[in-house]
Amino acid sequence: MTPCPWKGPEDMDHIVLGYDGSDFAMQALDWALDEAELRKLPLTLAHAWQWPYGDAEEEAKAHLRKAADHVLWHGAECARSTSSGVQVETDLYEGSAAQRLVELSGDATLVVVGSRGLSALPRAVVGSVAGYVAAHAERPVIVVRGPGPLPAPTDPGPIVVADREPDASVVEFAFGEAALRQVPVSASADLTEWAASHPEVRVQAGEAPDHATLMVVGRRRAAWFGAADSLLQHAPCPVAVVSER
């Protein structure tokens, strides 16, 4: 497996966050702000709304749009008040949240979503928006899940490469995150070539998922698409889904 360059801030210019005002979205907001601060990039909060009851008077739809606008405004204000200089932008869209996030992923560095949103069923572990975006986005998607405040524990764990035979794009993303966060990379795969080209990142053998800061997996492996033990359903920490080249 030969290292290949991962596109950086010179190629894409912002972080996109799917935001709906839920507790899961607030958790994802913390992570997205951290990514924006580490990468010195702007953050775009994206919120979508739809009238769910068929035909309606424009006045009724206007009330729903106003409520959606308030949700987005509140999230942006929270982001601005808690960040250290991150430029915060907003995107309000009438239509499918999942499709809008996929559309916005085209010129983003990465997309961050909560594991569930307001519309998810109570028993759902990963919501339909998170699943769809992770399956279709053009850039890496971080699905923020796991307990507690994120993403700054007092003793941060490694970035775990969860694939046994990872694609180059998966490994490169993992090393990039590890370098930004100054934590090691952990994997069961042989990362000797990558360690040589990333001397600033320590590599440790074996996975440590229970203490991981982030687990990184290729899209084919991240599978509500078929694998029985989907990381998106069971991981104890946020999961980055990276499209294999």
Q: Do 46 and 87 lie in a common domain?
A: yes
Q: Where a domain ends, among 144, 170, 197?
A: 144
Q: Where a domain ends, among 119, 144, 169?
A: 144
Whether 149 maps to a domain, the answer reads: no
Q: Do 120 and 20 lie in a common domain?
A: yes
Mean pLDDT for the stretch of residues 106-126: 68
Whether 1 maps to a domain, the answer reads: no
Distance CA 179, CA 177 (A): 5
Whether 5 maps to a domain, the answer reads: no
pLDDT for the residue 142: 95
Distance CA 7, CA 175 (A): 13
Total length of the chain: 245
Distance CA 55, CA 26 (A): 32
Q: Do 115 and 59 lie in a common domain?
A: yes
Q: Do 167 and 134 lie in a common domain?
A: no
Q: Do 116 and 176 lie in a common domain?
A: no
Q: Do 171 and 195 lie in a common domain?
A: yes
- The CATH number assigned to the domain holding 166 equals 3.40.50.620
- Give backbone dihedrals phi and psi of 244, rounded to 5 degrees, phi first: -70, 145
Whether 237 maps to a domain, the answer reads: yes
Mean pLDDT for the stretch of residues 140-151: 72
Among 8-12, 13-17, 125-129, where is mean pLDDT lowest? Answer: 8-12
Q: Do 122 and 47 lie in a common domain?
A: yes
> Both tokens of residue 87?
């430029």
Whether 168 maps to a domain, the answer reads: yes
**The pLDDT of residue 208 is above 60:** yes
Whether 154 maps to a domain, the answer reads: no
For the stretch 151-198, pLDDT in tens is 556 788 999 998 888 899 999 999 999 999 999 999 988 898 999 999
Q: Do 33 and 134 lie in a common domain?
A: yes
pLDDT for the residue 58: 80
For 72, the domain range is 15-144
Q: Do 125 and 181 lie in a common domain?
A: no
Whether 73 maps to a domain, the answer reads: yes
Query: What is the chain written as a DSSP string?
Result: ----PPP-TTT---EEEE--SSHHHHHHHHHHHHHHHHHT--EEEEEEE---SSS--HHHHHHHHHHHHHHHHHHHHHHHHHSSS--EEEEEEES-HHHHHHHHGGG-SEEEEES--TTS-TT-SS-HHHHHHHHH-SS-EEEE-SSSS-S--SS--PEEE--SS--HHHHHHHHHHHHHHT--EEESS--HHHHHH-TTS-EEES--GGG-SEEEEETTTS-TTS-TT-HHHH-SS-EEEE---
Q: How many domains does the chain have?
A: 2
Q: Do 38 and 116 lie in a common domain?
A: yes
How many other CB atoms are found less than 10 A from the CB of residue 119? 13
Whether 235 maps to a domain, the answer reads: yes
Q: Do 166 and 207 lie in a common domain?
A: yes
**The pLDDT of residue 229 is above 50:** no
Whole-Å CA distances, 10 to 41, 108, 151: 10, 11, 25
pLDDT for the residue 207: 64
Q: Do 26 and 92 lie in a common domain?
A: yes
